[in-house]
Structure formats: structure tokens, C-alpha cells
Amino acid sequence: MRVTPESIPKFPTLAESSETSIIDYQAIVNRFSPDGVTGQIDCFYAQWMTDRGGGFSDDNITALQRLTPFLGLRSNPRL
């Protein structure tokens, strides 16, 4: 999704991102297989942002979708 003045009212959390020159945003949901579910946790969410002119290309999005399950195995350094 392109971060534009029109998209910010729909997704208010993007307001701060637009102030820092973020122009494109992708959210990816990765569902676990049934045997990977832990309690009610059956997926993880990944968010990607860019300030690159033109935003994400179709090839960039395809690569993120392919790599996110592997990158999601890495623990969040902010936790």
C-alpha cells in the first residue's frame, strides 16, 4: 500500500511513518502449519516499509513474501 494522505485516515499508524519519508508499506501474514500452532498463536505478522522512490516493485514484494517465513524465525531484537 502506498502511504498517501488518502491512506492515512484508513490506517492512522501510518501517519508517523509518512512524516519520516516512508512511501510504501507491506504487511504479510504467515500462517503456521497445524502442527506448528501453539495455543492460540497460529501465525506471525511482518511489516515492511521503504522510503525508496517508487516504493516496492512487484519483484520486491515477491521476494519479501518468499523470505519472510525464514526471516520470521529470527527473534525480535526489541523483545
pLDDT in tens, 14-70: 777 667 788 888 888 887 777 767 777 787 888 888 888 888 999 999 999 998 888
Using DSSP bridges, classify how beta strands 24-31 and 43-50 pair: parallel, antiparallel or unpaired.
Answer: antiparallel
Q: Is residue 5 part of a domain?
A: no
Q: Is residue 28 part of a domain?
A: yes
Mean pLDDT of the residues in the chain: 78
Residue 66 · residue 26 · CB < 8 Å: no
pTM beyond cutoff 0.85: no
Residue 49 · residue 14 · CB < 8 Å: no
Q: Is residue 79 part of a domain?
A: no
Give the C-alpha distances (Å, rounded to integers) separating 41 from 3, 31, 38. 29, 9, 5
Q: Is residue 62 part of a domain?
A: yes
Overall average pLDDT of the 7-11 stretch:
76
Q: How many domains, in total, are found in the chain?
A: 1
Q: Is residue 46 part of a domain?
A: yes
pLDDT confidence band for 77 (50 / 70 / 90): low
Q: Is residue 36 part of a domain?
A: yes
- Which domain covers residue 28, as residue numbers? 14-71
Q: Is residue 57 part of a domain?
A: yes
